[in-house]
Amino acid sequence: MNKKPMIISAILVVLLICGYAVFDRIFPKAPAMTVPEKESVLSISIVRNDGSFAAVAGTDYERVLHSLTKARPTREMSINDSPAAKVYYAVKVQSSDSEYRYFIYMNNCNVYIEIPYEGIYRTDGTLLDAAERYFKD
């Protein structure tokens, strides 16, 4: 029985695992997003980058928080106070213990949520659509 193909396969698997470990160390994913519990939220507001402001109704708190929890971390780093996108929305969530800031924007047909200096997260367009609706009314 020829053991050479099995040895080569085992070496390739080990090299792939080591390669992924090095890649993950150099380009780590963003940490899990911190989202407050609905019961502790006092207010949510949305500010467009042109300065317009909209307050989110209390009945929509759960929908906004649920959209935030669906975001998946990326390997992109957040290195600015705000995104470089032309149009973005800042979602400010005031809870009983602190204030959370999330920036929502579209880039290359994908929707992202960015937390300054913490990470960039990919999400569906639900929260961006909701933010845009607040400014159309």
Q: What is the Cα–Cα distance from 54 to 42, expressed in whole angstroms?
A: 15
Q: What confidence score (pLDDT) does residue 5 get?
A: 85
Q: What confidence score (pLDDT) does residue 102 get?
A: 94
Q: Is residue 44 within 8 Å of residue 61, measured between CB atoms? A: yes
Q: What is the Cα–Cα distance from 77 to 95, expressed in whole angstroms?
A: 26
DSSP assignment of 29-98 equals PPPPPP---GGGEEEEEEEETTS-EEEPPGGGHHHHHHHHHT-EE-S----SSS---SSEEEEEEEESS-
Backbone dihedral angles phi then psi of residue 47, each to the nearest 5 degrees: -120, 125
Q: Which CATH architecture has domain 29-136?
A: Sandwich (2.60)
Strand partners, 95: 41
Q: Kindly report whether the global pTM for this prediction surpasses the value 0.85.
A: no
Residues 4-37: pLDDT tens digits?
888 888 889 988 988 888 888 888 888 888 888 8
The CA R_g of the chain, rounded to the nearest whole Å, is 20
